[in-house]
Amino acid sequence: MKFVKEKDSMGTVLVPEKAYYGPQTQRAIDNFPVSGLTFPSSFIHSLALLKKYSAVVNRDLGLLSKQISKAIVKAADEVMDGKFDDQFIVDVFQTGSGTSVHMNMNEVISSRANEIITGRKGGKAPVHPNDHVNLCQSSNDVIPSAMHISASILIKDCLIPSLDSLLKALAGKKKEFRNIKKIGRTHLQDALPVTLGQEFSGYERQIELGISGIKIAQKNLFELALGGTAVGTGLNAHPEFAKKVIAMIAENTGIPFKEARNHFAAQSAQNASMETSGALKAIAVILIKTANDIRWLSSGPRCGIGEINIPSLQPGSSMMPGKVNPVIPEAVIQAAAQVIGNDTTIMLGAQSGNFELNAMLPVIAYNLLQSITLISRAADLFAGKCISGISANAAKCASNIDKSLALATLLVPYTGYDRAAEIARKAHETGKTIREIAVEEKILPEELLNRLLK
């Protein structure tokens, strides 16, 4: 790999010849090789969207020439198209304000804009990464804004549609299984009969509540910190800048973004990210409960519960032929566990808002966007490759009801609790069913007994 010398206020640094980023980015790459984790494209593209409309507004306000603005806009569009995804390689674990990834963006856009104007990439003329690309902005207001924008877009375009698909799949099974009776279970023990449709209606309602929760939480993401610059005062920013940029971003995305009511809160705290993560954690818990129930209900299939059949997607064992493991529910559970862990990281990050700046913005952004993506993909996978393919084992459901001692509960209004308990005890000791003991001992008229135990 060939290198070229790049200079800035801190001196000279060697930058790969084919790189569009400059010396500040290279220093970040050299100094923060912590994890190899980089920001997802959703964040990078949202940051470029912000830079694009900043250039448009700065032109309209008379702060940028038409030539420079046009070049920045074109470069930002190319970043959003994914043309320069390989140029954003700064580690997530960096300066807590996100300045490194921010300057990575400023330098790539500046470099490409200079190439558009002069035919030569790099350098700081005629387009300067700070003076032009970053005009009226600071890392301290740009990074939390980009975080809110990217999270809101992912929720709108990926998360809600995925959860809606899962909701529809569960609703379909609720209807399909509405007449299939099975034994209910409490404390992992046999309980009164329910229908398989009723069981699935519970899963459906939980997802409805999860969708409602994320829609409520995301509203606070609509407030953007843009306009506060370094410490929330708006120093060096045109008073009309933020309002105009945010209006353009709102129109482009179809999301009602607005300027933060209080810039000091928006830049020093991360309440909206924490609340959104909490809603994602709630959905993760719902997915774990549902996926675990599916695993148990399909267990066996002959020596377990086996009341439902799940799609067979791959051999389930490396040594046991014919074994079908619940691979999709288990994948969903693992993804949900990661989201729960991410929420703890986000909570720790949110409490690190010291005075006028939160100094854990990169790790909050990374984990929040990962959680949204994980829940989106897990819900899609669960709906399309598991729930929609589930079938009921009606014979096993009926057999389990017949064998259940919990049916004695249906006799209580006629026999009293103690007599019903005695019947259940005898059935358990003899291996007979509740019906058989009740018939033998002539507990109730046979017609009434048949109606109760139908």
Same domain, 261 and 160: yes
Among the candidates 102, 135, 168, a domain finishes at 135
Report whether 139 contacts 97 (CB < 8 A).
yes
Same domain, 300 and 391: yes
- The percent of residues above 70 in pLDDT, for the chain, comes to 99
Task: Name the residue with tokens 């809101």.
Answer: 152
Among the candidates 79, 108, 135, a domain finishes at 135
Can you tell me the mean pLDDT for 83-100?
97
Q: How many domains are contained in the chain?
A: 3
Residue type, 331: A
Among the candidates 135, 160, 182, a domain finishes at 135
Tokens of 197: 């449709």
Residue type, 96: G
Q: Give the number of C-alpha atoms closer than 13 A to the C-alpha of residue 127, restricted to the C-beta side.
A: 33
Same domain, 173 and 63: no
Give yes or no for residue 454 having a pLDDT over 80.
no
Cβ atoms < 10 Å from Cβ of 313? 14
- pLDDT tens digits, one per residue of 231-261: 999 999 999 999 999 999 999 999 999 999 9
Same domain, 145 and 70: no
Q: Which domain holds residue 296?
A: 141-395
Angle at 95 between CA 93 and CA 97, to 5 degrees: 115
- pLDDT tens digits, one per residue of 146-191: 999 999 999 999 999 999 999 999 999 999 999 999 999 999 999 9
What is the rounded distance in angstroms from the CA atom of residue 433 to the CA atom of residue 406? 10
Same domain, 93 and 189: no
Same domain, 254 and 375: yes
Can you tell me the mean pLDDT for 363-369?
98
What is the rounded distance in angstroms from the CA atom of residue 295 to the CA atom of residue 317? 16
Task: Look at residues 387, 301, 286 and name the one whose alpha carbon lies nearest to residue 333.
Answer: 286
Task: Look at residues 216, 213, 184 and name the one whose alpha carbon lies nearest to residue 197.
Answer: 184
Same domain, 163 and 42: no
Same domain, 368 and 253: yes
Same domain, 335 and 226: yes
pLDDT of residue 446: 86
Same domain, 27 and 49: yes
Residues 6+ apart with CB under 8 A from 406: 183, 184, 189, 190, 191, 192, 193
- CATH number, domain of 192, equals 1.20.200.10
**How far are the Cα atoms of 67, 137, 164, 402 from residue 175, in angstroms, in the given order?**
61, 54, 17, 24
- CATH number, domain of 408, equals 1.10.40.30
Which residues carry out catalysis? 187, 317
Same domain, 311 and 213: yes
What is the rounded distance in angstroms from the CA atom of residue 168 to the CA atom of residue 43? 30
User: Average pLDDT over the chain, rounded to whole?
Assistant: 95
Give yes or no for residue 384 having a pLDDT over 80.
yes
- CATH number, domain of 124, equals 1.10.275.10
Same domain, 77 and 184: no
